[in-house]
Amino acid sequence: MLDIFSQIDFQHWLLRPFSERWWQETLCSMLVGVTCGVLGCYVVLRRMALIGDALSHAVLPGVVIAFLITNNTGIVGLLSGALLAGLLTAVLINLISRASRTKEDSSIGIVFTSLFAIGIILVSALPRGLHFDLKCFLFGDPLAVGATDLLLMVIICPVVLALTTALYHPLKLASFDPVVAAAMGVPVMTLHYLLMGMLSATVVAGLKTTGVILVVALVITPASAAYLLTNRLSRMMILAGAFGGLSAVAGMTLSFVTNWPSGATMVVFATAIFGLVLLLSPSQGIVIKMFRRRKMQWIVECEDVLKTVYRNTHEGIEWCNLRLVTNVTRISLRRLHAIVAQLEKKHLLHLNSDNELQLTAAGRIRALEMVRSHRLWESYLTERAGMAVADVHEQAEQLEHVHELVDEVDRNLGHPRVDPHGETIPPGKKPTPS
């Protein structure tokens, strides 16, 4: 055993992520992650996810031609090639879908696949001696990330972030309501092409780390997660930036430790965040919704038990059998035991050894509140909602659990003393002077 452990170089393993190279790459990919996240908000909201994918593929011919002309993968060449190709894609998509009845998604598909195809042909037709690494373009190659690429990220990302922040209001208006935006003089088309340009530039910045196929995930996934969490665009942008940056740093670190490809690891992290949000988001989260419903159900059942015990005990009959309670409330015996245990802990009722229940003084007060609530709602339903006396019981059975509104109902009805069935309505805790 000891032998095995001594073979692993713990110190190296632990420190490796924090080497100088790790710092450089992590900082730069964090920048890319944040930028992709923020820009991604507009991509997601304007339903341009497909365009994001298209742009990332369509930059290939631009990059190859730039490579042909400059003979290397220098910054200026790459960037201008990608920008031109990106804008060309945007313009072509626009032309085809405007000028004909071709649907936008179809024209996106047509344009980017054809540009990508041209790119592939160009790669294969490169003159002898020049080698363009198509695999690196597609899948990324963190080992090939050089100083120039880092520089590229450091230039592009702040520019994109600054532009999206500075143009926040017109971008919001143009994305939300393009027709009125145009009528108000917002340069809608210019902003559209600006977004496209920024997207192409960001794609190029992230290219070496993630490759074209996965870079789209960094644009769409963090923004989609943020979208589930908020109703404000500004917050969405901040959250998406945070998620993007976080996935980049976490992915980079893990990939240094495990030697997994960094781009793929980042994407897995981004998706994990999205999954968590999907399950746990306060307003949309699947788990949270289920949890809330369960909790509500539990409260309702507890209250029903109290009420049933109250109704079935009088002077003389001090105890109420558990069987009777299950029959009336239709709660299973097992669940009923759990409920009774909790109510006992709250000192609202007692359970004796004969499986019989009795309310405590506090329990009686709670039960009376329920009765009051039920009868007030019955009065409200007949008098204000105009329902027939015979029909109100069932609805009141539901409404009685909404305690916050009871006093308001009481006030609204002018503090009635009896309900529509002629039963006395118990007074509230602090009887309000009428």
Partner 1 sequence: MASDAGSTIPLHARNLTVSFADRAALRSISFQLQSGTLTGIIGPNGAGKSTLLRALLGLLPLDAGNVKAFGLPVAKNRQRIAYVPQKQTVDWDFPVTVLDVVLMGRYGRSNSRLWRLLRRPGETDRLAAEQALAQLGMSDFKDRHIRQLSGGQQQRVFLARALCQEADILLLDEPLTGVDVATEEIIFSLIDKLTAAGKTLLLVSHDLSILDRLHQVMLLNRRIIAIGPPEQAATKNNLRQTYGGRLALLDQAEAALTKMK
Which residue, 13 or 176, is less far from partner 1 as judged by CB?
176
Which residue, 45 or 75, is less far from partner 1 as judged by CB?
45
Which residue, 178 or 426, is less far from partner 1 as judged by CB?
178
When binding is defined by CB under 8 A, the residue of 34, 35, 172, 262 that contacts partner 1 is 172
Beta-carbon neighbour count of residue 225 at 10 Å?
29
117 binds partner 1 (CB under 8 A): no
Residues 248-267 that bind partner 1 (CB under 8 A): none
Closest distance between partner 1 and the C-beta of residue 233, in Å? 5
326 binds partner 1 (CB under 8 A): no
The residues, any chain, with a CB within 8 Å of residue 427's CB and separated by 6 or more, are 372
- Can you tell me the distance from the alpha carbon of 222 to that of 196, in angstroms, rounded to the nearest whole number? 19
231 contacts 51 by C-beta, under 8 angstroms? no
Which residue, 110 or 167, is less far from partner 1 as judged by CB?
167
Closest distance between partner 1 and the C-beta of residue 164, in Å? 12
Which residue, 98 or 323, is less far from partner 1 as judged by CB?
98
- Can you tell me the distance from the alpha carbon of 330 to that of 371, in angstroms, rounded to the nearest whole number? 19
- Starting at the edge strand found earlier in the chain, the sheet holding 320-321 runs 320-321, 356-359, 349-351
Cα three-residue angle 211-217-222, rounded to 5 degrees: 135
18 binds partner 1 (CB under 8 A): no
Q: Which helix (H) or strand (E) holds 113?
A: helix 104-124
278 binds partner 1 (CB under 8 A): no
Which residue, 17 or 170, is less far from partner 1 as judged by CB?
170
- 347 DSSP 8-state letter: T
HEC secondary structure over 72-106: CCCHHHHHHHHHHHHHHHHHHHHHHHHHCCCCHHH
User: What is the token pair recorded at 406?
Assistant: 């009871």
Which residue, 137 or 227, is less far from partner 1 as judged by CB?
227
Beta-carbon neighbour count of residue 127 at 10 Å?
6
Distances (CA, A) of 303 to 44, 48, 168, 236: 45, 50, 51, 40
Q: Any idea which residue has 């793929």 for tokens?
A: 264
Binding mask 40-59 for partner 1 (x = CB under 8 A): -----x-x------------
Which residue, 44 or 215, is less far from partner 1 as judged by CB?
44
Closest distance between partner 1 and the C-beta of residue 331, in Å? 35
Backbone angles phi, psi at 246, to 5 degrees: -60, -45
Binding mask 69-108 for partner 1 (x = CB under 8 A): ----------------------------------------
Closest distance between partner 1 and the C-beta of residue 79, in Å? 24
User: What is the token pair recorded at 76?
Assistant: 């200026």
299 binds partner 1 (CB under 8 A): no
Which residue, 221 or 265, is less far from partner 1 as judged by CB?
221
When binding is defined by CB under 8 A, the residue of 80, 104, 106, 170 that contacts partner 1 is 170
Closest distance between partner 1 and the C-beta of residue 175, in Å? 7
When binding is defined by CB under 8 A, the residue of 84, 154, 173, 300 that contacts partner 1 is 173
The C-alpha torsion from 206 through 207 and 208 to 209, rounded to 10°, is 50
Sign of torsion over alpha carbons 312, 313, 317, 319: positive
When binding is defined by CB under 8 A, the residue of 4, 8, 147, 179 that contacts partner 1 is 179
Q: How many residues bind partner 1 (CB under 8 A)?
A: 29
When binding is defined by CB under 8 A, the residue of 146, 168, 385, 403 that contacts partner 1 is 168
User: What is the token pair recorded at 244?
Assistant: 């993007």
Residues 185-244 that bind partner 1 (CB under 8 A): 185-187, 227, 230-233, 235-236
- Can you tell me the distance from the alpha carbon of 70 to that of 67, in angstroms, rounded to the nearest whole number? 5
Residues 137-166 that bind partner 1 (CB under 8 A): 166
Burial of 425 (0-12, 13-18, 19+ CB in 10 A): buried
Closest distance between partner 1 and the C-beta of residue 182, in Å? 6
Closest alpha carbon to 349 in 304, 391, 282, 406: 304
Which residue, 235 or 295, is less far from partner 1 as judged by CB?
235
* Contacting residues toward partner 1, per CB under 8 A: 45, 47, 166-170, 172-173, 175-187, 227, 230-233, 235-236
